Amino acid sequence: MAKRIQFASHGGPEVLEYADYTPTEPGPGEVRIRNRAIGLNFIEIYVRTGLYPAPSLPSSLGTEGAGEVETVGSGVTHLKPGDRVAYATGPLGSYSELHVLPAEKVVKLPDSITFEQAASVMLKGLTTQYLLRQTHALKAGETVLFHAAAGGVGSLACQWANAIGAKLIGTVGSAEKAERAKALGAWEVIDYTRENVAERVHALTDGKKCPVVYDSVGKDTWETSLDCVAQRGLMVSFGNSSGAVSGVNIGILAQKGSLYVTRPTLNSYADTADRLQAMADDLFGMIASGKLKVEEAKQYPLKDAAKAQQALAGRHTTGSTILIP
């Protein structure tokens, strides 16, 4: 028997239950991991409320964690019991002491990265990696726009872009967040509550605008973002915190300068075990070198997952939050 957080119906934090359950044995191509730290992300609140329905109920939550391999199923050759590992895109179930998931979703963790660091940075860090290294291979000297620059992914993007030598213009919603983004390496910041983002980007780039704009906000910033993309540039829409972009006339891309647009996801980039491990190695290397600093995460016991979600939903947290079994 082991402990996990589960819910039998959709609703508020009160539906979460800290319960006993019987972990399954790993099947072919699977591993069972004893979690030492578990990532907490806003998407899990959407799953709990039913906005993103779970495959079946009762269900556990979470897709991100770090720990040690306990058991491997048949056909698994790149992992063995005792290996330190981490994961970010596994099936639901990381809010647990033990989690079974496909071995191809698991990466080896170097000794230089703690379980707590891995659980707090895997999802956000891998997202930053594919955005800046693959969706658009950011180069030194390039000026780009990144919305929500003080957020989870944005705070890593500020550091990563600075390490590359690129000029990241970050949008933020307060003076405090502006100060944070600048401290993390943003070249310039725009407080969208006080400034016109497109006008400021035009001024900062001498009218050239940006070869790429990274937008996790969605509906509220879609047209503003397009106005900041240089001719034949790329609009990267990778999130929808303000709502999904819909009803778009593709002709607007022609009107704005023959623009490109993409809606990437982590799963599409980390689609094989080798690619996932290579992305993770790049991320871990940035952390080990000191170019990417991972802030100490706020910790809650696993049994207090409901309290942790309440704090996250109420915007009472800064940086990452993790659960400890």
Digit-coded pLDDT (tens) for 270-293: 999 999 999 999 999 999 999 999
Residue 135 lies in a domain: no
Residue 101 lies in a domain: yes
Q: Is the pLDDT of residue 127 over 70?
A: yes
Q: Are strands 321-324 and 65-72 parallel, antiparallel or unpaired?
A: unpaired
Mean pLDDT score, 49-64: 92
Verify that 144 and 257 share a domain, yes or no. yes
Verify that 144 and 258 share a domain, yes or no. yes
Verify that 253 and 296 share a domain, yes or no. no
56: DSSP letter: S
Q: For the whole prediction, is pTM greater than 0.85?
A: yes
291: DSSP letter: S
Domains of the chain: total: 2
Residue 129 lies in a domain: no
Q: Is the pLDDT of residue 194 over 70?
A: yes
Verify that 206 and 243 share a domain, yes or no. yes
pLDDT at 247: 87
Asked if residues 138 and 161 have their Cβ atoms less than 8 Å apart, the reply is yes
Residue 204 lies in a domain: yes
Verify that 110 and 146 share a domain, yes or no. no
Residue 134 lies in a domain: no
Q: What is the pLDDT of residues 154-188, one digit of tens each?
A: 999 999 999 999 999 999 999 999 999 999 999 99
CA-based nearest residue to 306, from 99, 92, 11, 1? 11
Asked if residues 219 and 230 have their Cβ atoms less than 8 Å apart, the reply is no
Verify that 181 and 237 share a domain, yes or no. yes
Q: Is the pLDDT of residue 317 over 70?
A: no
Distance between CA atoms of residues 106 and 172, nearest Å: 33
pLDDT at 315: 65
Count the alpha carbons within 13 Å of 12 in the hemisphere toward its beta carbon: 5
Question: What range does the domain containing 39 cover?
Answer: 2-121+270-324
Helices (H), the chain: 43-49, 115-129, 152-164, 175-184, 197-204, 222-226, 251-255, 266-269, 273-288, 305-313
Residue 317 lies in a domain: yes
Q: Assign residue 160 the CATH number of its domain.
A: 3.40.50.720
Cα-flanking dihedrals φ and ψ of residue 167, to 5°? -100, 105
